Amino acid sequence: MTDVDAGADVAGSRESFDRRGTLGVEEEFFVVDGQGRPTSGIDDLVYGDDPPPALRDRLDHELFQFTIETQTPTVGSVDAAADAVREVRTALADHAAADGYRVAGAGLHPAARWRELDHARKKRYRKQLDRIQYPQHRNTTAGLHVHVGVDDADRATWVANELRWHVAPMLALSANSPFWNGFDTGLASARAVVFESLPNTGIPTRFDGFDDYRRLERRMVASGSIRDRGELWFDVRPHTGHGTVEVRAPDGQRDPTRVLAFVELVHALVTDLAERHADGESGTDPRREFLDENKWRAVRHGRDAAFLTPDGTDEVALDEYVARQEDRLGVERLRDLYAGESGTARQRRLCDEGGLDRLCEGLVLPSDRVTPEEPA
């Protein structure tokens, strides 16, 4: 939800889509105090002293004064993205520690009570709060966004259409937000539910090419429904400013190895689909009801979810999905991601072992400047 530059076109253009296979990663985090509890830190971290070089012009804040966003530079490979993600995270944790803060990673912070937290004062967010009201006032969410460059606007739109079915498995694999306002919601990803109460979110409709998507952008801006293209907060979209396909489905993460598994998967899926489009493949058009049902299953059950196939005639369990993508795309990190403890299970285990205090500590990113004992 970063600002559009002053004077920039509120809807993008075909010319933006001029690179293939590039990568960029945006991560949202929580600023916390010494006990891992939410605290207002953006004035110091974003507007205070100059950040480290890795964060310069790549650090912003979100709706609340305890939420912060990082962006990697645009890179040309998954390995380069891995280096960039780790460098940015280390710089952020150290930058926060130098100012007396810590940084936590999850889809929702379990101790964040939105009624007690201050919103950011940026004019953009104040306008959103006034326009959207209650759903935006309580939006304490943090997500992971992966951008992959596509060198043709219509191809990018087709790829985004095809990725809609993959939203649910990716959310299930990333689910990392069972707690909200201090209680266990019974969901694997409460973040998805909180965020999807906003307008222009969730899984979008199928678009008949780039011009169809751009007409939506421009009509929404012209009607006053959104301020700019950045307020179409769909789970997957062609980003008409960056010239990428952007996947926004995953929960925020503490562990960078989990982030890199999603980066590798999204890159492989976009690359594969772009090649299939170039070969003339016609694509699929799942019923919206099937896509919504699959996303609900991911929200509720996480790792235990099974998903309706695009035609609705069968189901695919998450482990089967992982095996198929591993075999088909050669993504090496996905199997390890699935084999490990899920973010949802880890949060519940930490809470069972030591209550909210241990859970909050267990979400904090490590820093070279502070080395507290970290829960496993």
User: Which domains, ranges and CATH numbers included, belong to the chain?
Assistant: 14-362 (3.30.590.20)
The answer on pLDDT for 196 being more than 70 is: yes
> How many Cβ atoms from other residues are within 10 Å of residue 76's Cβ?
13
In the chain, % of residues over pLDDT 90:
92
Structure-block tokens of residue 270: 């976009």
The answer on pLDDT for 161 being more than 90 is: yes
Are 330 and 70 within 8 A, CB to CB?
no
Structure-block tokens of residue 319: 């482990």
CA distances (Å), 59 to each of 94, 183, 242, 324, 348, in order?
A: 14, 30, 17, 36, 31
Mean pLDDT over residues 138-148, rounded? 98
pLDDT, one tens digit per residue, over 289-307 is 999 999 999 999 999 999 9
- The confidence score (pLDDT) of residue 372 equals 46
Residue with the two structure tokens 């993959």: 166
pLDDT, one tens digit per residue, over 52-98 is 999 999 999 999 999 999 999 999 999 999 999 999 999 999 999 99
> How many Cβ atoms from other residues are within 10 Å of residue 369's Cβ?
12
Rounded to whole angstroms, how far apart are CA atoms 166 and 186? Answer: 23
Give the pTM. 0.94
pLDDT, one tens digit per residue, over 95-112 is 999 999 999 999 999 999
Amino acid at 7: G
Computed on alpha carbons and rounded to an integer, the radius of gyration of the chain in Å comes to: 19
Q: Which residues pair with 73 in a beta bridge?
A: none
Structure-block tokens of residue 93: 């944790």
The residues, ordered by sequence, that sit 6+ positions from 105 with a Cβ below 8 Å of its Cβ are: 27, 29, 30, 142, 252, 253, 254, 255, 363, 365
Amino acid at 258: R
- The confidence score (pLDDT) of residue 3 equals 40
- The confidence score (pLDDT) of residue 49 equals 80
Are 24 and 242 within 8 A, CB to CB?
yes
Q: Which of 177, 94, 113 is nearest to 343 (CA)?
A: 177
